[in-house]
Amino acid sequence: MTADPISIAEARTTVLDATRPLDAVTVAVEEALGSVLAGEVRAASDVPPFACSAMDGYAVEVGPAGRTLEVVGESRAGAPSDHPVRSGQAIRVSTGAAIPTGTGGVIRQEDVEERADAIRTGTPTSASQNVRHAGEDMRAGTVVLTPGTMLGAAELGAAVSAGAGAVTVARRPRVAILCTGDELRAPGEPLGPGEIHNCNGPMLSSLAQRAGAQVAACQRLPDDPAITRSALASGLEQADLLVISGGVSVGPHDHVKPALSALGVEQLFWRVALQPGRPTWFGAREGKLVFGLPGNPVSAVVTFTLFVRPALQAMQGLVSRAQLISDGRLAVAVARSPHREQALRVWVQRRDGELTVTPNGPQASHLVTSLLGADALAFIPQGEGELPAGSAVALEELAD
Ligand code: AMP
Ligand code: MG
């Protein structure tokens, strides 16, 4: 174990190597938004299950315009007609209604002249005109959704159409968030001398939920070794993943690392060559992951995004990571850091088919307002001098 800062990439590999997928659970589709599928979803039967009309109109035999046809029944959505279409006949059909046997095609209501108990066709009707065939959307038995898929509105719609009432998904990771600092007060509380509001608690809790986690606890801790240790111990009991903010530096009131070591949490790295976010700590105990994030709010958000979010996603088996946007081009020159890769907060514009990225104002790690309106992190490799305007930079989307 070296005390030298490691690269962002190395730190992420270490995190993912220590991450294990969570067990699967079965939940009702109504509860599944944002969960990640653990098994396949196959179509239980053809979708649509029966041939049906794509229009409001009349089921008729194939034939020319100018026919007069007797209307002998009606097939409504949910109430099919058992009367077949025969020569010289028509059956009124609604959109989505099963088409009667003997139907050649459906002529739209707008294309007929309606008379008492009869219609006169104004256009010809060809085979299968305005007919939706059984299985056009899904064939019985085909795989509609694969494991690792995040369930959004479209996926839930497809699962329900496929016949699923419940889906097998990864259990949501349980996260405990502990914000250390004698100076912290709860949101809205009046501040005494030297005190500040705990903005990391709500931010980290929101980011964890956006990454699919269930927040089991979110609490403040004073800078006290015994309290820190017992809070970390109970956090390790109740959660799959612990996020600690502050207290991981080298000050006399930073008690997190000794407490974790006493609790048998193995340190896997401490310090990343990253700006902001250098003093990030990561360790594990019996499959539970512990992240010690720097207390500065911007550092906490950046390091959560870079290290905690991928761990939460991997725990849930998420396959595609939509937040990896690709490359953008710098709108302005940016000073490089000789020792650290920078994760700049930027806003992103599409210009001439390219993503143009502009730093989102001052970048100091205590400026919460520098996160407002930021779309992504842009990575500036370490080095001397400036990275010129127009340079390609890798981007990673920030959660909203
Ligand atoms: P630390 O990492 O504990 O040395 O804290 C670094 C800086 O972040 C200090 O200015 C802290 O006051 C500030 N800070 C720590 N925790 C929080 C928090 N939960 N919310 C807002 N600021 C914090
Ligand atoms: Mg502190």
Architecture of domain 324-397: Beta Barrel (2.40)
Residue 119's pLDDT is 98
179 lines ligand 1 (CB under 6 A): yes
Distance (Å, whole) CA 107 – CA 122? 9
Tell me which of 3.40.980.10, 3.20.10.10, 3.40.710.10, 3.90.1300.10 is the CATH number of domain 8-22+172-315: 3.40.980.10
Does the pLDDT of residue 322 top 60, yes or no? no
The angle subtended at Cα 101 by Cα 97 and Cα 104, nearest 5°, is 90
Distance 123 CA to ligand 1 centre (A): 75
Residue 400's pLDDT is 82
Distance (Å, whole) CA 155 – CA 149? 8
- Kindly state the average pLDDT of the residues 46-54: 98
Write the burial class of residue 169 (CB in 10 Å: 0-12 exposed, 13-18 middle, 19+ buried): buried
Rounded to two decimals, the pTM is 0.93
Name the residue of 203, 255, 296, 303 whose CB sits within 8 Å of the most ligand 1 atoms, as the mutation to test its pocket.
296
Does the pLDDT of residue 326 top 80, yes or no? no
- The residue contributing the CA closest to ligand 1 atom 20 is 198
Domain ranges in the chain?
Answer: 8-22+172-315, 24-44+150-170, 52-132, 324-397
- The residue contributing the CA closest to ligand 1 atom 14 is 295
Distance (Å, whole) CA 277 – CA 380? 14
Query: For the chain, what is the mean pLDDT?
Result: 95
Does the pLDDT of residue 2 top 50, yes or no? no
Q: Which atom of ligand 1 is nearest to the CA of 248?
A: 2
* 17-49 pLDDT tens trace: 999 999 999 999 999 999 999 999 999 999 999
- The residue contributing the CA closest to ligand 1 atom 23 is 295
Residue 158's pLDDT is 98
Classified by CATH at the fold level, domain 52-132 comes out as: Molybdopterin biosynthesis moeA protein; domain 3 (2.170.190)
Residue 136's pLDDT is 97
Distance (Å, whole) CA 75 – CA 79? 6
